Amino acid sequence: MTANRLPAQPGEYIDRSKPISFTWNGEPIQGFEGDTIASALTANGVRVVARSMKYHRPRGYLTNDFWDPNSFVQVGDDPNVRSAHRLAEANMAVEAQNVWPSLERDIRAANGLVSRFLTAGFYYKTFIKPQRLWPAYAKVLSTFAPGGTVDLDTPHRYHDKRYAHPDVVVAGGGPAGMAAALAAADEGASVMLVEHGHQLGGHLLWGDVNDRMLADELRSRVESHDGIEVLLDSTVTGRYDDNWTAIVQRSHPIAVERLIKARAKMLVVAAGLIERPYVFAGNDKPGVMTSGAVRRFVNMYAARPGTRAVVFTSNDDGDAAAEDLARVGIELARVVDARTGGNIVAAKGGAKSVEGVELADGSTVDCDLLVTAVGWTAPTSLLNMSGDRPVYDELAARFFPSRDIDTVLTTGGMAGDGSHEELVAHATATGRLAAGRAAVTTHRLQAATARAAAVSGAEPAWPSDDRSALPRHPQRELFRSTTHGIVDYSEDVGSKDLVAAAKEGYDSVELLKRYTTATMGPSQGKLETVNTVAVLAEARGETIEEVGTTVWRPPYAPITLGALGGRVFEPVRVSSIQPWHEANGVTTILAGQWIRPEHYGDPAAEVRNTRENVGITDVTPLGKLDLQGPDVPKLLSQLYTNKWMKLGVGNVRYGIMCAEDGVVLDDGVTGRLGDEHYLMTTTSSGAGAIWEWAENWLQTEHPEWQVHVTPVTTGFTSINVAGPKSRELVSRLVDDVDLSPEAFAYMQVRTGTVAGVPNCFMWRIGFTGELSFELHVPSGHGLHVWESLLEAGADLGVKAFGLEAQRIMRLEKGHFIVGQDTDGLTKAPSTGMGALIKLDKDDFAGKPELEWALQDQSLPHVVAIQTTDPRIVPEEASQIVRAGTNEILGRITSSRMSPTLNRSICLGQVAPEVAAAGSELTVVLTTGERITARVMEHHAHFDPEGERLRG
């Protein structure tokens, strides 16, 4: 089976002492450790590895590297694996993808027969009408979509994220990248050297003995240097403002993939060059390869890519490929030299292999391997992302950086050509320059953080760039032969398609790209952009420079969604009572950052018990801001719409806060604990924002006010004790506060000792509408107080209730929830709380808007609503419409079945014309059915006079 494995090669990366086997479409494949899937398949004589996207033409390896457009395979449950990059592993199950029923007999290859109908824009033109059939079209077309199979049952695997702050990130681990990294590290910089492949060395890896010696020398120095962190099988995939670089690390010991966000003081781009395929008839037949592809097969993996070769060369690399082939005994049928006028016109043969090549001189040479070496594409993506627009140089037939960027330097093949010595010298100077500039940036960063650390010494001078430019080797401009062929292998776009599209008027490169999808496949232009531009330039009769290129955007190499999602660093919060909740059958709900008890099995029973006996609920996430200082009343007056200057010690007041546009921001109660000491409560979700809001007023508009705001939300465990027996229960645990209704009335606050815990705040407030005491207990004692309440109240029938029961009870009482019953447009007068807007105050947030809103008769109203049929609970967000029409008059914002009233109850927002008590409403259910409902007189469906609350 491994007849195509060559004898040991001097620079091979396979370990012949470690044979492995895996399967390819179920057939056994023998390889060695160090093989890529591609090299093992090739050594086993496999030539066809994929079918093309549109025409399903058989395809073999073209470039034999990460960017090979024909290399995508399925490995187990992992789709779209790049087989010329992924290393082979024992027992892998590798399969061809996008083939049906099999790679050998793919019936959709019939697409190729009708290819003249599948030209650019085919889908746009064909499936546009009639529009109602589009869903049917989409269904059929999706079966033609390329790509592997996603297994929805794949277990979740670990993806990681890391933040790094290196002085210098070097993108590319070839000779230039290594030399730059060494020079920078020698200057004391911390360096991250990021290499796309599995080994350091770049193009030296598949070179001759001199190349390998240089690679070995640089590599051993890099590996023993403490200042360099080497990341293999990793790619700098994006560069953003201030050198924020995204690095995707594919090989990681424990993570499937890791995303590194590195803030590099300097970025050195040494991404090398990518060999460009040649456009000619039959250029996608299996057996047509770039010179780099065959040199990697032969020199790195000792895999024989063919038996009889024609080499079309225009440069040293093509010549070297011919030498390599001859050395290992592959018959060289012909070397066609472009530098002396030679050219190839068409690859001949069947669909599954090249069998010969027609030359420009009219002759045809038999071969099963056709090697092209026509020049290079500079992958300038990171420079584009840094703001550069690289310029085309006809002499070297490729793009070069157009200008210097202070924090981004280029070296290696993207900067020019030259001998090993010249390249290493340029890269070394680049690394030194990068280290010098990084040192300046370090100094500036420290100086800018002067309060945190003293800066030592004066700022070093900004090193100027005095590197001598690398020479540029002449390269003939070889993009397309006299025939038409494939330009974008991933997308199956040919030069003929591009010419036709240009004739149709899509003759700007950005339009052409989108219309034909050229450069939009998985290779993302690395192989095909310049050929696309060249074909367009020819069609327009212009130069490449005049046509221009498309802009390279991130990501340079793909990142899995797993890595982007990665680890979530956001913590979740739980109250100190969480262990009790978990031990008592809680169902939790995630609310913002908090995990809260939703219920303990039967929320309706929890409601009934609270209304009949007494219930306790954990409301720890309730926002709590400790306010101290002589000017607290001024701050409260500024934040709330109502008045606060005369709140007595021990008293509590409710208020609404609005933003400067008059929209309700938050609501809650604030109590006065002492002369200059207040405690503000906010909604659970508003806790963070209201703190920032208060600070905004104190820091920007009124820095003269003396107020200190301390968030204490998590410093206290908050427990609401509610129900007719709540006073009895609390009194059993409190000795130092008189709890009688006369001494401790509704809307008052006291400080006392609960179950032996001093310094607890007790509030007579409540969302549930029952007599209730809200206890704020220093959080270390929260669980103790909770358990003491349950123990002390066992004979009273005390039971815990969750968020759902609390929400039902608040809806029974008609209390609106900011953000649920109000939205981003709801101004305070809509909530029915207009009386709390005190326009005679000199100033408060949103005052002018609220003044205008109070006069505005068109604002919607928040109202209580009951359905005519008490059994129907309309889903929240059900629309309220004008009877007999679809004209929207409002919507249901909250709805529940009330266990207390045994009927459906709602809150909603409605237009003013139907807001009056008794107005009849038409509610559209999610089923489409329409029902009738009625606007109630009071917001509260239950105990509108609040007698229970004040008891």
Tokens of 604: 């309706």
What is the closest distance, in whole angstroms, from the C-beta atom of residue 441 to other proteins in the complex? 10
What is the closest distance, in whole angstroms, from the C-beta atom of residue 553 to other proteins in the complex? 16
What is the closest distance, in whole angstroms, from the C-beta atom of residue 387 to other proteins in the complex? 9
Which residues have a Cβ under 8 Å from the Cβ of 196 and sit 6 or more positions away?
A: 66, 172, 173, 233, 234, 235, 557
What is the closest distance, in whole angstroms, from the C-beta atom of residue 452 to other proteins in the complex? 6
What is the closest distance, in whole angstroms, from the C-beta atom of residue 407 to other proteins in the complex? 11
Ramachandran category for residue 172: left, alpha or beta (phi over 0 → left; psi -120 to 50 → alpha): left
What is the closest distance, in whole angstroms, from the C-beta atom of residue 619 to other proteins in the complex? 25
Tokens of 628: 């101290």
What is the closest distance, in whole angstroms, from the C-beta atom of residue 857 to other proteins in the complex? 17
Nearest to 829 by CA among 670, 664, 654: 664
Q: What SS3 class is residue 682? A: strand
Provide DSSP, 45-110: T----EE-TTT--EE--SS-STT-TT-EEEETTEEEEETTTSBP-TT-EEEE-S-SB-SSSBGGGH
Phi, psi for residue 358 in degrees, rounded to 5 = -90, 130
**Residue among 211 and 849 whose Cβ is closer to other proteins:** 849
**Residue among 387 and 630 whose Cβ is closer to other proteins:** 387
What is the closest distance, in whole angstroms, from the C-beta atom of residue 243 to other proteins in the complex? 9
Angle between helices 632-639 and 687-696 (to 10 degrees): 110
What is the closest distance, in whole angstroms, from the C-beta atom of residue 41 to other proteins in the complex? 42
**Residue among 675 and 701 whose Cβ is closer to other proteins:** 701
Which residues have a Cβ under 8 Å from the Cβ of 659 and sit 6 or more positions away?
A: 665, 845, 846
What is the closest distance, in whole angstroms, from the C-beta atom of residue 172 to other proteins in the complex? 23
Angle between helices 495-503 and 509-516 (to 10 degrees): 120
What is the closest distance, in whole angstroms, from the C-beta atom of residue 360 to other proteins in the complex? 51
Taking the CA of residue 417 as centre, how many other CA atoms within 13 Å lie in the half-sphere pointing to its CB? 16
What is the closest distance, in whole angstroms, from the C-beta atom of residue 210 to other proteins in the complex? 43
In angstroms, the CA 128 to CA 133 distance is: 9
What is the closest distance, in whole angstroms, from the C-beta atom of residue 703 to other proteins in the complex? 6
Which residues have a Cβ under 8 Å from the Cβ of 132 and sit 6 or more positions away?
A: none
What is the closest distance, in whole angstroms, from the C-beta atom of residue 563 to other proteins in the complex? 17
**Residue among 91 and 700 whose Cβ is closer to other proteins:** 700
What is the closest distance, in whole angstroms, from the C-beta atom of residue 380 to other proteins in the complex? 21
CA dihedral 843, 845, 846, 851 (to 10 degrees): -30
Nearest to 397 by CA among 478, 457, 330: 478
Residue type, 809: M
**Residue among 455 and 605 whose Cβ is closer to other proteins:** 455
**Residue among 24 and 693 whose Cβ is closer to other proteins:** 693
**Residue among 126 and 449 whose Cβ is closer to other proteins:** 449
Q: Which residue stretches of 96-208 are H helix?
A: 110-113, 122-126, 134-142, 175-186
Q: State the residue for tokens 């023993």.
A: 224
Q: What SS3 class is residue 276? A: coil
942: which DSSP letter? Answer: S
**Residue among 554 and 724 whose Cβ is closer to other proteins:** 554
**Residue among 28 and 848 whose Cβ is closer to other proteins:** 848
Taking the CA of residue 545 as centre, how many other CA atoms within 13 Å lie in the half-sphere pointing to its CB? 10
Handedness of CA 581, 582, 585, 589 (dihedral sign): positive
In angstroms, the CA 596 to CA 591 distance is: 7
**Residue among 396 and 663 whose Cβ is closer to other proteins:** 663
What is the closest distance, in whole angstroms, from the C-beta atom of residue 696 to other proteins in the complex? 5
**Residue among 445 and 825 whose Cβ is closer to other proteins:** 445
- Contact yes or no for 65/296 (Cβ under 8 A): yes
In angstroms, the CA 650 to CA 638 distance is: 21
**Residue among 695 and 738 whose Cβ is closer to other proteins:** 695
- Contact yes or no for 365/331 (Cβ under 8 A): no
In angstroms, the CA 243 to CA 947 distance is: 64
- Contact yes or no for 282/486 (Cβ under 8 A): no
What is the closest distance, in whole angstroms, from the C-beta atom of residue 240 to other proteins in the complex? 6
Helices (H) and strands (E) in the chain, counts: 25, 48
What is the closest distance, in whole angstroms, from the C-beta atom of residue 708 to other proteins in the complex? 12
Residue type, 491: E
**Residue among 695 and 920 whose Cβ is closer to other proteins:** 695
Cis bond before residue 829 (omega within 30° of 0): no
**Residue among 89 and 823 whose Cβ is closer to other proteins:** 823
**Residue among 688 and 832 whose Cβ is closer to other proteins:** 688
Tokens of 399: 């793009």
**Residue among 117 and 569 whose Cβ is closer to other proteins:** 569
In angstroms, the CA 773 to CA 47 distance is: 79
631: which DSSP letter? Answer: T
**Residue among 264 and 347 whose Cβ is closer to other proteins:** 264
Return residues touching other proteins (CB under 8 A): 240-242, 244, 263, 445-446, 448-452, 659-661, 692-693, 695-697, 699-701, 703, 842-844, 847-849, 852
Which residues have a Cβ under 8 Å from the Cβ of 818 and sit 6 or more positions away?
A: 664, 665, 666, 667, 683, 686
In angstroms, the CA 688 to CA 586 distance is: 27
**Residue among 66 and 693 whose Cβ is closer to other proteins:** 693
Cis bond before residue 130 (omega within 30° of 0): yes
Which residues have a Cβ under 8 Å from the Cβ of 842 and sit 6 or more positions away?
A: none
